[in-house]
């Protein structure tokens, strides 16, 4: 399950990090502090993706193991 979770984490982490960075770039009040907020937002996106990836990996594993 760890291999599946890592693969899912990479996809979900990039997506969440990208969403947070886009929010910072598009909100005018946050854009002024973008140089300091963008790395924080990217790291937060990757960290927030860990539990999401674990849940998705468990669901994938439960669906594929029952078929075997």
pLDDT tens for the chain, 68 residues long, are 889 999 999 999 999 999 999 999 999 998 889 899 999 999 999 999 999 999 999 999 998 887 65
Distance, CA of 29 to CA of 67 (rounded, Å): 51
Angle at 41 between CA 35 and CA 43, to 5 degrees: 110
pLDDT of res. 65: 82
pTM score over 0.85 = no
pLDDT of res. 4: 92
pLDDT of res. 67: 65
pLDDT of res. 1: 84
């Amino acid at each position: 399950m760890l291999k599946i979770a890592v693969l899912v984490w990479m996809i979900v982490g990039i997506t969440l990090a990208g969403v947070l960075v886009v929010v910072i770039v598009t909100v005018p009040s946050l854009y002024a502090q973008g140089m300091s907020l963008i790395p924080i937002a990217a790291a937060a996106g990757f960290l927030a993706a860990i539990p999401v990836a674990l849940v998705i990996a468990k669901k994938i594993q439960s669906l594929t193991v029952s078929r075997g």
